[in-house]
A = this chain, B = another copy of it.
Amino acid sequence: MNLRNDLPGLKLKNPVMPASGCFSFGKEYASFYDLDKLGAVVLKAATGESRFGNDTPRVAETASGMLNAIGLQNPGVDAIIENELPFLEDFQTPKIANIAGSTVEEYEEVAEKISPHVSAIELNISCPNVKEGGIQFGTDPDLAREVVKAVKHKSRVPVYVKLSPNTSDIKGMAVACEKAGADGLSMINTLTGMQILKDKRKPLLANKTGGLSGPAIKPVAIRMIYEVYPHVSIPIIGMGGIESAEDVLEFLLAGAQAIAVGTANFRNPFVMPEIIENLPHVLESYGFSSVEQAIGGAHDETNASPLYSS
Protein backbone atom coordinates (compact mmCIF):
# COMPACT_ATOMS: atom_id res chain seq x y z
CA MET A 1 0.00 0.00 0.00
CA ASN A 2 1.49 3.31 -1.07
CA LEU A 3 1.16 5.97 1.65
CA ARG A 4 3.66 8.32 -0.02
CA ASN A 5 2.55 11.73 -1.09
CA ASP A 6 4.55 14.75 -2.19
CA LEU A 7 3.52 18.25 -1.19
CA PRO A 8 5.48 21.45 -1.83
CA GLY A 9 8.67 21.10 0.22
CA LEU A 10 7.39 17.93 1.87
CA LYS A 11 8.17 14.40 0.70
CA LEU A 12 5.80 12.55 3.02
CA LYS A 13 6.28 8.80 3.56
CA ASN A 14 2.80 8.87 5.06
CA PRO A 15 0.17 11.63 5.42
CA VAL A 16 0.18 11.74 9.24
CA MET A 17 1.77 14.57 11.23
CA PRO A 18 1.15 16.18 14.63
CA ALA A 19 -0.93 19.35 14.87
CA SER A 20 1.10 22.34 15.96
CA GLY A 21 1.08 23.04 19.67
CA CYS A 22 0.09 19.50 20.63
CA PHE A 23 3.57 18.07 20.16
CA SER A 24 5.82 20.80 21.56
CA PHE A 25 9.15 20.34 19.74
CA GLY A 26 8.99 16.55 19.62
CA LYS A 27 11.17 15.52 22.57
CA GLU A 28 8.35 14.23 24.78
CA TYR A 29 6.74 11.98 22.17
CA ALA A 30 10.18 10.76 21.09
CA SER A 31 10.22 8.84 24.38
CA PHE A 32 7.14 6.91 23.17
CA TYR A 33 8.18 6.13 19.58
CA ASP A 34 10.63 6.93 16.81
CA LEU A 35 9.61 10.30 15.32
CA ASP A 36 10.76 9.06 11.92
CA LYS A 37 7.60 6.98 11.84
CA LEU A 38 5.70 10.23 11.25
CA GLY A 39 5.10 11.77 7.84
CA ALA A 40 6.41 15.02 9.24
CA VAL A 41 6.90 16.84 12.54
CA VAL A 42 5.11 20.13 13.11
CA LEU A 43 6.60 22.42 15.73
CA LYS A 44 4.92 24.58 18.34
CA ALA A 45 4.29 28.16 17.25
CA ALA A 46 7.38 30.37 17.20
CA THR A 47 7.27 34.16 17.77
CA GLY A 48 9.93 36.87 17.55
CA GLU A 49 10.52 37.17 21.28
CA SER A 50 9.91 34.60 24.01
CA ARG A 51 6.34 34.56 25.33
CA PHE A 52 5.10 33.13 28.60
CA GLY A 53 1.56 32.88 27.34
CA ASN A 54 -1.63 33.04 29.38
CA ASP A 55 -2.19 32.39 33.05
CA THR A 56 -3.67 29.06 34.08
CA PRO A 57 -6.15 27.43 33.84
CA ARG A 58 -5.23 27.09 30.20
CA VAL A 59 -7.40 24.11 29.29
CA ALA A 60 -10.96 22.98 29.89
CA GLU A 61 -12.77 19.83 28.90
CA THR A 62 -15.90 19.94 26.73
CA ALA A 63 -18.20 17.27 25.29
CA SER A 64 -15.99 15.26 22.91
CA GLY A 65 -13.40 18.00 22.90
CA MET A 66 -11.44 20.59 24.83
CA LEU A 67 -10.73 24.29 25.02
CA ASN A 68 -7.19 25.64 25.16
CA ALA A 69 -5.73 29.07 25.72
CA ILE A 70 -2.00 28.43 25.96
CA GLY A 71 -1.24 31.84 24.51
CA LEU A 72 1.55 30.89 22.13
CA GLN A 73 4.01 30.25 24.92
CA ASN A 74 7.43 29.71 23.34
CA PRO A 75 11.07 30.66 23.98
CA GLY A 76 11.24 32.83 20.85
CA VAL A 77 12.55 31.99 17.40
CA ASP A 78 16.27 32.36 18.26
CA ALA A 79 16.10 30.08 21.29
CA ILE A 80 14.06 27.56 19.30
CA ILE A 81 16.70 27.43 16.59
CA GLU A 82 19.46 27.16 19.18
CA ASN A 83 17.93 24.83 21.76
CA GLU A 84 15.07 22.90 20.18
CA LEU A 85 15.91 22.22 16.53
CA PRO A 86 19.23 20.42 17.18
CA PHE A 87 17.36 17.54 18.84
CA LEU A 88 15.31 17.08 15.66
CA GLU A 89 18.39 16.98 13.41
CA ASP A 90 18.79 13.27 14.21
CA PHE A 91 15.47 12.59 12.49
CA GLN A 92 15.03 12.42 8.72
CA THR A 93 11.31 13.21 8.63
CA PRO A 94 10.47 16.71 7.32
CA LYS A 95 10.07 19.50 9.87
CA ILE A 96 7.41 22.19 9.61
CA ALA A 97 7.75 25.38 11.64
CA ASN A 98 4.52 27.00 12.82
CA ILE A 99 5.02 30.77 13.03
CA ALA A 100 2.93 33.44 14.74
CA GLY A 101 3.14 37.17 15.39
CA SER A 102 1.36 40.35 16.40
CA THR A 103 2.60 42.38 13.45
CA VAL A 104 3.52 41.65 9.85
CA GLU A 105 7.08 42.57 10.76
CA GLU A 106 7.20 39.94 13.50
CA TYR A 107 5.95 37.26 11.08
CA GLU A 108 8.61 38.34 8.59
CA GLU A 109 11.40 38.17 11.18
CA VAL A 110 10.42 34.70 12.36
CA ALA A 111 10.00 33.36 8.82
CA GLU A 112 13.36 34.73 7.72
CA LYS A 113 15.18 33.28 10.72
CA ILE A 114 13.59 29.82 10.91
CA SER A 115 12.95 28.94 7.25
CA PRO A 116 16.55 27.86 6.55
CA HIS A 117 16.19 25.19 9.23
CA VAL A 118 12.92 23.53 8.18
CA SER A 119 11.21 21.99 5.14
CA ALA A 120 8.15 24.21 5.26
CA ILE A 121 6.47 26.93 7.24
CA GLU A 122 2.95 26.80 8.63
CA LEU A 123 1.71 30.35 8.94
CA ASN A 124 -0.65 30.66 11.90
CA ILE A 125 -2.83 33.65 11.01
CA SER A 126 -5.25 33.10 13.89
CA CYS A 127 -3.48 35.84 15.83
CA PRO A 128 -4.68 39.34 16.71
CA ASN A 129 -2.98 42.10 14.74
CA VAL A 130 -2.02 44.66 17.39
CA LYS A 131 -1.57 47.41 14.80
CA GLU A 132 -5.09 46.81 13.48
CA GLY A 133 -6.80 46.98 16.85
CA GLY A 134 -6.42 43.29 17.48
CA ILE A 135 -8.60 41.89 14.72
CA GLN A 136 -7.22 38.58 13.66
CA PHE A 137 -5.17 38.33 10.48
CA GLY A 138 -7.14 35.15 9.88
CA THR A 139 -10.58 36.74 9.76
CA ASP A 140 -9.82 39.58 7.33
CA PRO A 141 -8.87 38.57 3.75
CA ASP A 142 -6.86 41.78 3.19
CA LEU A 143 -4.77 41.36 6.36
CA ALA A 144 -4.30 37.70 5.46
CA ARG A 145 -3.16 38.54 1.95
CA GLU A 146 -0.70 41.10 3.32
CA VAL A 147 0.93 38.77 5.85
CA VAL A 148 1.08 35.85 3.39
CA LYS A 149 2.76 38.01 0.74
CA ALA A 150 5.26 39.34 3.28
CA VAL A 151 6.13 35.90 4.68
CA LYS A 152 6.40 34.34 1.21
CA HIS A 153 8.90 37.05 0.39
CA LYS A 154 11.10 36.19 3.40
CA SER A 155 10.73 32.42 3.53
CA ARG A 156 13.19 30.12 1.79
CA VAL A 157 10.72 27.22 1.98
CA PRO A 158 7.08 26.67 0.95
CA VAL A 159 4.47 28.39 3.12
CA TYR A 160 1.28 26.67 4.30
CA VAL A 161 -1.34 29.06 5.64
CA LYS A 162 -3.29 27.78 8.63
CA LEU A 163 -6.85 28.99 8.32
CA SER A 164 -9.16 29.94 11.17
CA PRO A 165 -12.65 28.38 11.08
CA ASN A 166 -14.08 31.45 12.81
CA THR A 167 -15.24 32.97 9.55
CA SER A 168 -18.36 33.09 7.42
CA ASP A 169 -16.35 32.68 4.21
CA ILE A 170 -13.64 30.03 4.44
CA LYS A 171 -13.57 29.73 0.66
CA GLY A 172 -12.83 33.44 0.27
CA MET A 173 -10.01 33.23 2.82
CA ALA A 174 -8.51 30.20 1.11
CA VAL A 175 -8.64 31.75 -2.35
CA ALA A 176 -7.18 35.01 -1.01
CA CYS A 177 -4.27 33.12 0.52
CA GLU A 178 -3.62 31.15 -2.67
CA LYS A 179 -3.65 34.37 -4.70
CA ALA A 180 -1.19 35.89 -2.21
CA GLY A 181 1.22 33.04 -2.95
CA ALA A 182 0.48 30.37 -0.35
CA ASP A 183 1.93 26.98 -1.32
CA GLY A 184 -0.63 25.10 0.73
CA LEU A 185 -3.33 25.40 3.39
CA SER A 186 -3.76 23.92 6.86
CA MET A 187 -7.36 23.54 7.97
CA ILE A 188 -8.68 23.98 10.55
CA ASN A 189 -7.47 25.85 13.58
CA THR A 190 -9.71 25.91 16.66
CA LEU A 191 -13.19 27.38 16.97
CA THR A 192 -13.38 30.05 19.66
CA GLY A 193 -15.32 28.83 22.66
CA MET A 194 -15.83 29.34 26.39
CA GLN A 195 -16.79 27.42 29.49
CA ILE A 196 -18.17 29.08 32.63
CA LEU A 197 -17.62 27.90 36.19
CA LYS A 198 -21.00 27.99 37.87
CA ASP A 199 -19.59 28.12 41.39
CA LYS A 200 -17.03 30.85 40.66
CA ARG A 201 -19.42 32.69 38.32
CA LYS A 202 -16.69 33.37 35.79
CA PRO A 203 -15.08 31.82 32.72
CA LEU A 204 -12.96 28.78 33.62
CA LEU A 205 -10.01 29.77 31.44
CA ALA A 206 -7.85 32.61 32.77
CA ASN A 207 -7.99 33.96 29.21
CA LYS A 208 -11.80 33.64 29.30
CA THR A 209 -12.07 32.28 25.75
CA GLY A 210 -10.17 29.34 24.31
CA GLY A 211 -9.87 27.28 21.15
CA LEU A 212 -12.23 24.33 20.76
CA SER A 213 -10.61 21.17 19.38
CA GLY A 214 -11.23 17.45 19.25
CA PRO A 215 -13.94 15.23 17.68
CA ALA A 216 -16.58 17.87 18.46
CA ILE A 217 -15.26 20.05 15.61
CA LYS A 218 -14.62 17.31 13.04
CA PRO A 219 -17.84 17.97 11.07
CA VAL A 220 -16.87 21.65 10.73
CA ALA A 221 -13.36 20.73 9.55
CA ILE A 222 -14.68 18.24 6.99
CA ARG A 223 -17.20 20.78 5.69
CA MET A 224 -14.60 23.54 5.31
CA ILE A 225 -12.08 21.31 3.55
CA TYR A 226 -14.80 19.97 1.24
CA GLU A 227 -15.91 23.54 0.53
CA VAL A 228 -12.41 24.87 -0.21
CA TYR A 229 -10.98 21.90 -2.15
CA PRO A 230 -12.62 22.53 -5.55
CA HIS A 231 -11.64 26.21 -5.52
CA VAL A 232 -7.91 25.97 -4.88
CA SER A 233 -5.11 24.15 -6.68
CA ILE A 234 -2.76 24.10 -3.67
CA PRO A 235 -2.78 21.13 -1.28
CA ILE A 236 -4.68 21.08 2.00
CA ILE A 237 -3.36 19.61 5.24
CA GLY A 238 -6.51 18.62 7.14
CA MET A 239 -7.04 18.52 10.90
CA GLY A 240 -9.78 18.73 13.48
CA GLY A 241 -10.78 15.83 15.71
CA ILE A 242 -8.88 13.08 13.95
CA GLU A 243 -8.61 9.97 16.16
CA SER A 244 -8.36 7.02 13.79
CA ALA A 245 -7.33 5.83 10.32
CA GLU A 246 -11.04 5.93 9.38
CA ASP A 247 -11.08 9.62 10.29
CA VAL A 248 -7.99 10.13 8.13
CA LEU A 249 -9.79 8.58 5.15
CA GLU A 250 -12.77 10.88 5.72
CA PHE A 251 -10.42 13.89 5.56
CA LEU A 252 -8.70 12.57 2.42
CA LEU A 253 -12.06 12.05 0.72
CA ALA A 254 -13.07 15.62 1.64
CA GLY A 255 -9.95 16.87 -0.14
CA ALA A 256 -7.07 16.86 2.33
CA GLN A 257 -3.74 15.66 0.93
CA ALA A 258 -2.22 15.10 4.35
CA ILE A 259 -3.58 15.33 7.88
CA ALA A 260 -2.56 16.39 11.38
CA VAL A 261 -3.52 14.94 14.75
CA GLY A 262 -3.71 17.22 17.76
CA THR A 263 -5.92 16.70 20.79
CA ALA A 264 -6.12 12.93 20.32
CA ASN A 265 -2.43 12.71 21.34
CA PHE A 266 -3.48 13.68 24.86
CA ARG A 267 -5.81 10.69 25.11
CA ASN A 268 -3.39 8.27 23.52
CA PRO A 269 0.28 9.25 23.07
CA PHE A 270 0.64 6.39 20.55
CA VAL A 271 -2.30 7.50 18.42
CA MET A 272 -0.20 8.62 15.43
CA PRO A 273 1.91 5.47 15.00
CA GLU A 274 -1.27 3.44 15.49
CA ILE A 275 -3.07 5.41 12.78
CA ILE A 276 -0.11 4.98 10.42
CA GLU A 277 -0.14 1.24 11.08
CA ASN A 278 -3.89 0.91 10.46
CA LEU A 279 -4.12 3.23 7.46
CA PRO A 280 -3.10 0.71 4.75
CA HIS A 281 -5.70 -1.79 5.98
CA VAL A 282 -8.42 0.87 6.18
CA LEU A 283 -7.65 2.27 2.72
CA GLU A 284 -7.68 -1.23 1.31
CA SER A 285 -10.96 -2.19 2.98
CA TYR A 286 -12.58 0.81 1.30
CA GLY A 287 -11.11 -0.10 -2.08
CA PHE A 288 -8.16 2.26 -2.32
CA SER A 289 -4.65 1.23 -3.30
CA SER A 290 -2.93 4.46 -2.29
CA VAL A 291 -3.43 7.61 -0.26
CA GLU A 292 -3.35 9.71 -3.42
CA GLN A 293 -6.30 7.76 -4.87
CA ALA A 294 -8.53 8.78 -1.98
CA ILE A 295 -7.81 12.51 -2.05
CA GLY A 296 -10.94 14.45 -2.98
CA GLY A 297 -12.82 11.21 -3.54
CA ALA A 298 -16.05 12.57 -2.08
CA HIS A 299 -16.35 15.22 -4.79
CA ASP A 300 -18.30 14.72 -7.99
CA GLU A 301 -16.03 14.03 -10.97
CA THR A 302 -17.19 17.40 -12.26
CA ASN A 303 -15.60 19.45 -9.50
CA ALA A 304 -12.84 17.01 -8.59
CA SER A 305 -9.23 18.05 -8.94
CA PRO A 306 -6.76 16.45 -11.39
CA LEU A 307 -5.38 14.55 -8.42
CA TYR A 308 -8.60 12.62 -8.12
CA SER A 309 -9.37 12.07 -11.78
CA SER A 310 -5.85 10.84 -12.40
Q: Nearest chain B CB to A136's CB is how many angstroms away?
A: 8
Contacting residue for A203 out of B167, B215, B226, CB 8 A: B226
CB-CB under 8 A from A210, the residues of chain B are 219
Q: Nearest chain B CB to A243's CB is how many angstroms away?
A: 9
Q: Which A residues are closer than 8 A to B by beta carbons?
A: 62-65, 67, 136, 139, 164, 166-169, 191-196, 198-199, 201-203, 208-210, 212, 214-220, 222-223, 226-227, 241, 246, 249-250, 253-254, 286, 297-298
CB distance B220 to A191 under 8 Å?
yes
Copies of this chain, count: 2
Q: Roughly how many angstroms separate A292 CA and B209 CA in the complex, as a whole number?
A: 24
A64-B250 in contact given A194-B222, A194-B226, A222-B193 (Cβ < 8 Å): no
Q: Roughly how many angstroms separate A216 CA and B213 CA in the complex, as a whole number?
A: 10
CB-CB under 8 A from A192, the residues of chain B are 220, 223
A298-B196 in contact given A167-B168, A169-B139 (Cβ < 8 Å): yes
Q: Nearest chain B CB to A95's CB is how many angstroms away?
A: 30
CB-CB under 8 A from A246, the residues of chain B are 198
Q: Roughly how many angstroms separate A220 CA and B220 CA in the complex, as a whole number?
A: 12
In the complex formed, the residue of B with least CB distance to A241 is B63
Q: Roughly how many angstroms separate A189 CA and B227 CA in the complex, as a whole number?
A: 20
